[in-house]
């Protein structure tokens, strides 16, 4: 039996699987299949050539992809903290943790743009060769998902800053956004390990 959430006043049971959660899990499964197909194409492309990256092609510079991993950990950590504060009906703590996650999400997107600029400077452009094309497709598809996740973070961020905004939220919204980010974390770690290996 669900009881009202202390901040929103809406019925809420943190252990109940809702239709919104189910829809998110279906969407994540679809995205997971998309990334799996892209990774399969990446490994098939790698198998076709004797050396990877191909001779005469610069490898992916590791600094920015590796720096992105702790940023994602910060996002996930603060989203988890925000969820705990949400469950405890600590609005001030929730707002602080959510704000840090929102800023870090934007920083991750900035790192992605920095990576693309650096790749272009090295001659790793989407139209240069198969190696370059695969890298760009993988990172752009991931960044598109990140853009949606950042938009969700800031949408909720602006809602919780309004005096009446919290009561308009679904009690499960913070958890759903957190699930999406955790999924993106896992995908990025797999992408980085694959691209730098």
Question: 132-160: per-residue pLDDT in tens?
Answer: 898 999 999 999 999 999 999 999 999 88
Sorted by where each begins, the domain ranges of the chain are 16-196
Question: Phi/psi zone of residue 56: left (φ > 0), alpha (ψ -120 to 50 degrees), beta?
Answer: left
Alpha helices (H) in 48-90, listed in sequence order: 63-87
What is the pLDDT at residue 65?
A: 95
Question: Hey, what are 156's tokens?
Answer: 């909720």
What is the pLDDT at residue 100?
A: 97
Tell me the β-bridge partners of 12.
Answer: 3
What is the pLDDT at residue 4?
A: 57
What is the pLDDT at residue 1?
A: 47
What is the pLDDT at residue 57?
A: 84
What is the pLDDT at residue 8?
A: 66
At the top level of CATH, which class does the domain 16-196 belong to?
mainly alpha
Percent of the chain with pLDDT over 90: 58
**Which residues in the chain show pLDDT less than 70?**
1-13
Give dist(CA 175, CA 44) in Å, integer.
Answer: 36
Q: Is the dihedral of CA 117, 46, 68, 57 positive or negative?
A: negative
């Amino acid at each position: 039996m669900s009881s009202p959430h202390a901040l929103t006043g809406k019925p809420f049971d943190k252990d109940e699987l809702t239709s919104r959660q189910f829809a998110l899990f279906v969407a994540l499964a679809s995205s997971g299949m998309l990334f799996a197909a892209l990774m399969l194409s990446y490994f098939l492309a790698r198998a076709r050539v004797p050396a990877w990256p191909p001779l005469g092609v610069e490898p992916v510079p590791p600094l920015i992809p590796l720096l992105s991993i702790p940023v994602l950990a910060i996002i996930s950590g603060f989203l988890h903290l925000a969820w705990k504060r949400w469950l405890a009906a600590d609005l001030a703590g929730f707002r602080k943790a959510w704000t840090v996650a929102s800023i870090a999400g934007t920083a991750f997107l900035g790192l992605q743009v920095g990576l693309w600029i650096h790749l272009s400077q090295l001659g790793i452009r989407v139209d240069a060769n198969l190696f370059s094309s695969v890298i760009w497709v993988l990172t752009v598809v991931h960044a598109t998902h990140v853009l949606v996740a950042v938009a969700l973070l800031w949408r909720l961020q602006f809602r919780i800053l309004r005096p009446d905004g919290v009561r308009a939220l679904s009690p499960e919204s913070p958890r759903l956004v957190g699930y999406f980010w955790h999924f993106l974390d896992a995908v990025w770690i797999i992408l980085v390990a694959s691209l730098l290996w």
